[in-house]
Chains A and B, each alone.
Chain A
Amino acid sequence: MSIFIDENTKLLVQGITGRDGSFHARQMMEYGTQVVGGVTPGKGGQTFEGPDGRSCPIFDTMEQAVAATGANASVIYVPPAFAADAIMEAAGAGVPFIVAITEGVPVLDMTRVYAYVQDAGVRLLGPNCPGLLSPGKSKVGILPGQIATPGPVGVVSRSGTLTYEVVYQLTNAGIGQSTCVGIGGDPINGTNFIDCLEAFENDPETKAVVMIGEIGGTDEQQAAEFVSSRMTKPVVGFIAGQTAPPGRRMGHAGAIISGSEGTAAEKIETFERNGIGVAKKPSDVVGLIQAVL
């Protein structure tokens, strides 16, 4: 088992002919993800050539693509100006799981998108996220596949490369992962920590969870309370941004400390109060996980 994606995931790539979309479509095919088609308006009827002689059809619209392929997931690589519409197009076509990689989506667009996907009853991961990876089964997004290995640890994070760092450390220590999920660093996103923790709690393969947070907002604090009140599996954590100056946006639109809300110290304290061991540096995650497995 794993969460959200597995070997049965049939994926459409929105923006498959673009620079990032085509590169990562190939990477995902190489990893073994079932990429069943792509969408680029105006290029319907063409074929996308993947690695090792593999290929998939290109469609003009998501409606056509879903009807023709029976896809159950989609990943979005379109530019920020079109990302909101692409997400809603996927939801409108009935895709139950949508991953938006695009960075820089206006937050006001996301207020509308969030309402739209809620109404459609589908799950959105992102935007501004690296996607997710169920080692040995499927990868959707931009995570480098070679750093992960199958195993019992679920990883959920707001960051991209920091997730890679932790997954890499786990793999080097011989600890595999069930699914690694990057929920993204934007203030409004489709899937939060609690959604992922709940899925890991219900996934029989996952034995422990690593939660990687950062400064800004209160998502981690709420997640910590969820861990102590609703989870039976052990959770360990790391919080980035302990040395970040207040009032400055640290790259991620969500990573800004305002007043006392969202400091690293506050989050670490809440983690510890709720029984979540906190690593002082990324490499310490390994020891904490070994202790609870």
Chain B
Amino acid sequence: MNIHEYQAREILTAHGVPVPPGVVATTPEEVERAAQQFGSTVVVKAQVHAGGRGKAGGVKLAKSPAEAKDVAGKILGMRIKDLPVEKVLVAPAEDIASEAYVGMILDRASKRVVVMVSREGGVDIEEVAAMNPDAIRKLAVDPRYGLLPYQAYSLAVSLYDDIRQQRACAKILQQLYAAFLSSGASLAEINPLVTTPDGEVKALDAKFNIDDNELFRRPDIEALRDTSGEPEAEIQAREAGLTFIKLDGNIGACVNGAGLAMATMDLIKFYGGEPANFLDIGGSSNPEKVVNALRIITADPNVKVICFNIFGGITRCDDVANGIVTATQRIKIDVPIVIRLTGTNEDAALEILKNAGFSATTSMDEVVQKAVELAGAGK
């Protein structure tokens, strides 16, 4: 899950990281009042789950409250990477002497949290990694001991020459590590970490991604979820315990298991069709899930055919068959449904479907070819 910059700043502040003041606003008038309150040049920043906000025109300086109101009017309501901007962060513009990068990620290769620091702050760290990898220092944190003070200090020394700034940065790194753990992050970045002309070290911008698997035990973090800009169907799917991603095609896919769901999308494309979605009904044996899945798929007007691909293991085929029958009784489905079922309780499932007037196959290739044909595409 992504959270906004202003939310990330609140997490950092709660852990003691020095963050300049800021106000979240949803109207130009609120922005104007905030700018009056700060009484200085302010920066108005779009709060949206997309990178490249600055380049897209979503970050602007304003020298007066009137100008702040004016730029806020332009930013609020604009779309960045197709996401609507509904909130902005207003903060006093800082005098900046230097910009550095500090970040932490859950690293699959080392199987640890890796801390990364670079003197080249304020730019995309992926760009630095590609152009000048030597400019990034990395440290894999041993989970047995956490980020040790000397390690944090050693990283800080690579960023700053002044002892006060080195100490301030080391402290910030340890605070960021604590924030990472307590929020269940998979990524936490302060970019840029700035120094001001009078020598202070401050976090000017922050980005946190949260590991979805953490949310069950962190209701305070789950509460930060912003669903604006998220397709309605994906929100409904999440609430129904399904994994759904909308795509642009016309073949609605309903599959159990993420790997098989991806392979089904690929096979649809292989036979010349276009998938309308990725949908994993998961490993549960609940017919209600199938009903919800069909409701979500059929809400997409592009869908011309629905293709089930179920390999029963922990999922029982008869439960899926019952779900299909129940769904077609409860909701009006105008498009054809093609079904592949095999595995646990396959015979019972085929019987249930036959009695309800459906036919089913046990071959994945066959069902996908049929779906592509019915969608009016294909080789």
Contact = CB atoms under 8 A, between A and B. Distances in A.
Contacts of B245: 245, 248, 250
B258 A144 contact: no
B219 interface: no
A208 interface: no
A271 interface: no
A5 interface: no
B259 to A, nearest CB: 2
B53 interface: no
B112 A111 contact: yes
Contact of B266 (A111, A241, A252): A241
B222 to A, nearest CB: 13
Interface in B264-311: 265-270, 275, 278, 280, 283, 311
B22 to A, nearest CB: 27
B333 interface: no
Which residue, B111, B142, B214, B364, has most C-beta atoms of chain A within 10 A? B111
A144 B345 CA distance: 11
Interface string B29-45: 00000000000000000
Report whether over half of chain B's contact residues are helix, strand or loop; otherwise say mixed. Answer: mixed
A105 B106 CA distance: 14
Given A110-B111, A165-B311, A245-B245, A250 B213 contact: no
Which residue, A115, A158, A238, has most C-beta atoms of chain B within 10 A? A115
Interface string A6-28: 00000000000000100010000
A281 B109 CA distance: 28
A66 interface: no
Interface in A162-186: 162-165, 168, 185
A81 B343 CA distance: 30
Given A111-B106, A111-B113, A164-B311, A158 B259 contact: yes
B14 to A, nearest CB: 18
A218 to B, nearest CB: 7
B270 A188 contact: no
B16 interface: no
Contacts of A250: 243, 245, 258, 261-262, 278
Contacts of B111: 110-111, 114, 188
Given A144-B313, A161-B313, A251 B261 contact: yes
Contacts of A243: 247, 262, 265-266, 268-269, 275
Contacts of B270: 280-281
A81 B216 contact: yes
A20 B245 CA distance: 27
A105 B213 contact: yes
A156 interface: no
A168 B275 CA distance: 24
B365 A283 contact: yes
A220 interface: no
B211 interface: yes
B256 to A, nearest CB: 6
B259 A160 contact: yes
Contacts of B47: none
A160 B283 contact: yes
Interface in A200-257: 212, 214-215, 217-219, 238, 240-245, 248-255
Which residue, B109, B259, B364, has most C-beta atoms of chain A within 10 A? B259
Contacts of B311: 161, 164-165, 168
A240 B343 contact: no
Contacts of B312: 144
B180 to A, nearest CB: 8
Contacts of A241: 262, 265-266
Contacts of B278: 244, 248, 250-251
Interface in B243-258: 243, 245, 247, 255-258
Interface in B90-145: 106, 108-109, 111-113, 126, 142-144
Contact of A162 (B142, B143, B259): B259
Which residue, A106, A110, A219, has most C-beta atoms of chain B within 10 A? A106
A244 B265 contact: yes
Nearest to B109: A218
Contacts of A147: 343
Contacts of B313: 130, 142-144, 160-161, 164
Contacts of B247: 243, 245
Contacts of B269: 242-243
B262 A187 contact: no
A68 interface: no
Contacts of A219: 108
Contacts of A282: 263, 267, 364
A137 to B, nearest CB: 19
Interface in B136-173: 142-144
A282 B211 CA distance: 31
B262 A214 contact: yes
Contacts of A114: 111, 143
A254 B344 CA distance: 27
6 contacts: A112-B144, A115-B143, A159-B259, A161-B259, A164-B311, A217-B108
Interface of A: 20, 24, 80-81, 103-108, 110-112, 114-115, 130, 142-144, 147, 157-165, 168, 185, 187-188, 212, 214-215, 217-219, 238, 240-245, 248-255, 259, 264, 280-283
Given A108-B181, A110-B111, A161-B257, 5 more contacts: A165-B260, A168-B311, A245-B245, A250-B261, A281-B266
